[in-house]
Amino acid sequence: MQLNAAQKLIQDHLLSGEMKAGEEIGIKIDQTLTQDATGTMVMLELEAMGIDKVKTEASAQYVDHNLIQEDFRNADDHLFLRSSAQKFGIYYSRPGNGVSHPVHMQQLARPGKTLLGSDSHTCANGCMGMLAIGAGGIDVTMAMAGEPYYVKMPRIMGIELTGKLPDWVSAKDVILEMLRRHGVKGGVGKVLEYYGPGVKELSAMDRHVIANMGAELGATATVFPSDEEIKHFLKTQGREDEWIELKADDGAVYDEHEEINLSALEPLIAKPSSPGNVVPITEVAGEDIYQSYIGSSANPGYRDFAIASEIVKGKQIANGTSLDINPTSRQLLEQLVENGHIANLLSAGARMHQAGCNGCIGMGQAPATGKNSLRTTPRNFPGRSGTREDSVFLCSPETAAASVLTGVITDPRTLDMDYPKIKEPIKFSTQGMLEAPPEDNSQIELEKGPNITTIPDFEPIEDNFDVPVLLKMNDNISTDEILAGGSRVLPYRSNIQKISTFAFEIIDDRYYEEAMKKRDDGGHMVVAGFNYGQGSSREHAALAPRYLGLRVVLVKDFARIHLQNLINFGILPLTFVNEEDYDLVRQGDVLEFRQIHQTIQKQHTFEIQLKGTDRTITVQHDLTKRHLEILLAGGIINWIKEKQ
């Protein structure tokens, strides 16, 4: 049977289930990735489970989100993460070494392997011929403990690339074109596999740009072939011996098909405030800008910064604008310094920031209120930049650099200059800031600062209960809106009681106070529309509301990772059978749940009563037997304890 590349990766790692779309499968995980916004919980979970050493081939803990040390909290957490990495046998990437996804690609990613990461953009490493999947932290914990990762077998969408990118169009425009065509739900339940003659025209880092924002399409993963370009990339890192070829068989078929002629693409831009709000640059050209921001895991490559450097070389950015440069790895930064690109950017008026996620996650470089910010980041959800009333556009480095010279959104093709030709380095230095774990971990003790608390105990869901609807929301509610990121919130990632005070504040700043009133009296539920929980994989967006008494989430449909996080923390996830029932439920209504234990185990569709009325709402779930066991135990930690 002819297989595509994604099917080969899944087949090689299949431990349970059948490769039939929609069926639950269990796959072996070779590598894991955690970052500091989610990794502290993973380390606490490993400790709670009594794990001596991780069972994966390679696991890495990156410090890339919480780099601003305005007090002891982040610094203490860095020490905790380093001691945890040493104790559990994990690589540790020190603060300033760079963003997890490009650093992992440079130093640990291997074709043919599986990678599970507690960051939704883990899918970026699919550029290396890997099956790379973002997940909630506790799912990654389980993989590190040697357990399979369970996911519904995705449909495989084949995207055939033909042609070659024209001048002033780059890889960011390819993924923006996918978002223009398919929107933020277009990849849900799918692996996106790129193939065809156009693939060879894309560098390994170009592929990273495209694979990274598969998360914005809602995809389970993105897969590129491992070909001569990947072999060349590994050679620049001194790892050529780790290369294997991986590609689709001749005659392989796909569940869905798409085609992109690279030669026909034009510069694109995603308008505020959704990655799916994509238009040609010509539709918004001329609008004033305040900021251009270049960097993040969505444009992490050498050429992404070098092209901006060459565009602004010998020029000055427009008065009243800010050009923020966010290097994505120390390795890359060294090379850019050596080749004069940082000097070009600084001379033009750019502001340099340390290698890390930074402004992408709202950690600095926040724009002025209501002013247009052009960013090469993957997301522009409301408030994610660190400014609540933000106006963020997503674009290529070419567009960002051209616009900051003119002070208005500018089609880079209109610049009075030839398109710069960038020569990539043939060899990169290997950084010593990725620390390998010690051979003997027997004497390692965990270092815990005062801000690190334990994970609260949660009781299983009751059989009969009434809960009020505390919030009713619209479509596309992101995890950034459920629980904000940024330097004000994320330092409390190891303190569930404190971080819960920020839950849903972007939507309703009264939520915490109202939830606390209901917490000890049966809890509450929330209602929303389509694509609930899109965006970041942060499990705190489930864990913090659960701490505040969230028992049920009823929506039109869920984003994949957040759905699993809800299950993992014992929150009942339900969807409307009839979309019009969404309009019947109002904020403040009380819903009655009766004999719920038996009901959800025996049937996938059932009715719930609106208290005080004769109205019923028909709801459904799509939970597997394993999901139900976890849910009825009160979450995966309780479930594990019961199994033990």
pLDDT in tens, 30-71: 999 999 988 998 998 898 888 899 999 999 999 999 888 888
- Which residues lie closer than 8 Å to 534 by C-beta, 6 or more apart? 184, 218, 476, 477, 478, 479, 559, 562
In three-state secondary structure terms, 113 is: coil
In three-state secondary structure terms, 253 is: coil
- pLDDT in the model for residue 644: 63
Contact predicate 515/508, CB 8 Å: no
The dihedral built from the CA positions of residue 630, 632, 638 and 643, taken in this order, carries a sign that is: negative
Structure-token pair, residue 62: 């990156």
* Percentage of residues of the chain with pLDDT beyond 90: 84
Per the listing, tokens 């539920």 go with: 525
Q: How confident is the model at residue 570 (pLDDT cuts 50, 70, 90)?
A: very high
Q: What is the arithmetic mean of pLDDT over 103-113?
A: 97
In three-state secondary structure terms, 465 is: strand
Q: What is the DSSP letter of 595?
A: S
Contact predicate 544/483, CB 8 Å: yes
Could you read off the pLDDT of 165-218 as tens digits, one per residue? 999 999 999 999 999 999 999 999 999 999 999 999 999 999 999 999 999 999
Angstrom distance (rounded) from CA 518 to CA 68: 35
Look at residues 102, 99, 293, 215 and name the one whose alpha carbon lies nearest to residue 479.
215
Q: What is the arithmetic mean of pLDDT over 210-239?
A: 97
In the predicted structure, residue 432 carries a pLDDT above the cut 80: no
Angstrom distance (rounded) from CA 270 to CA 396: 10
Angstrom distance (rounded) from CA 29 to CA 54: 12
Angstrom distance (rounded) from CA 39 to CA 136: 10
State the pairing for strand pair 268-270/278-280: antiparallel
Strand segments (E) across 228-274:
256-261, 268-270
- Average pLDDT, rounded, for the chain: 94
- pLDDT in the model for residue 491: 84
Q: How far is CA 369 from CA 291, 372, 390, 392, 505, in A?
A: 12, 9, 6, 11, 18
Per the listing, tokens 């050529």 go with: 240
Q: How many CB atoms lie within 10 A of CB 455?
A: 18
- pLDDT in the model for residue 431: 66
In the predicted structure, residue 230 carries a pLDDT above the cut 90: yes
Per the listing, tokens 């969230």 go with: 550
Angstrom distance (rounded) from CA 106 to CA 110: 10
Residue with the larger pLDDT of the pair 40 and 164: 164
**Region class of 391: left (phi > 0), else alpha (psi between -120 and 50), else beta:** beta
State the pairing for strand pair 351-352/58-62: unpaired
Q: How far is CA 447 from CA 83, 116, 322, 361, in A?
A: 6, 26, 39, 26
Contact predicate 95/67, CB 8 Å: yes
Residue 361 one-letter amino acid: I
- pLDDT in the model for residue 71: 83
In the predicted structure, residue 456 carries a pLDDT above the cut 70: yes
DSSP per position, 47-107? HHHT-SS--SSEEEEE--S----SSHHHHHHHHHHHHHHHHHT-EEEPTTSB-HHHHHHHH
- pLDDT in the model for residue 544: 95
Angstrom distance (rounded) from CA 379 to CA 382: 9
Angstrom distance (rounded) from CA 180 to CA 370: 24
- pLDDT in the model for residue 222: 98
Look at residues 63, 149, 59, 200 and name the one whose alpha carbon lies nearest to residue 490.
63
Q: What is the arithmetic mean of pLDDT over 149-165?
A: 97
Q: How confident is the model at residue 453 (pLDDT cuts 50, 70, 90)?
A: confident
Peptide bond into 329 cis (omega under 30): no
Q: What is the 3-state secondary structure (H, E, C) of 553-589?
A: EEECCECHHHHHHHHHCCCEEEEECCCCHHHHCCCCC
Look at residues 217, 194, 215 and name the one whose alpha carbon lies nearest to residue 206.
194
In the predicted structure, residue 487 carries a pLDDT above the cut 70: yes
Contact predicate 527/467, CB 8 Å: no
Look at residues 111, 113, 135 and name the one whose alpha carbon lies nearest to residue 122.
135
Residue 401 one-letter amino acid: A
In the sheet with 14-16, reading across from the earlier edge strand, the strands are 14-16, 24-27, 149-152
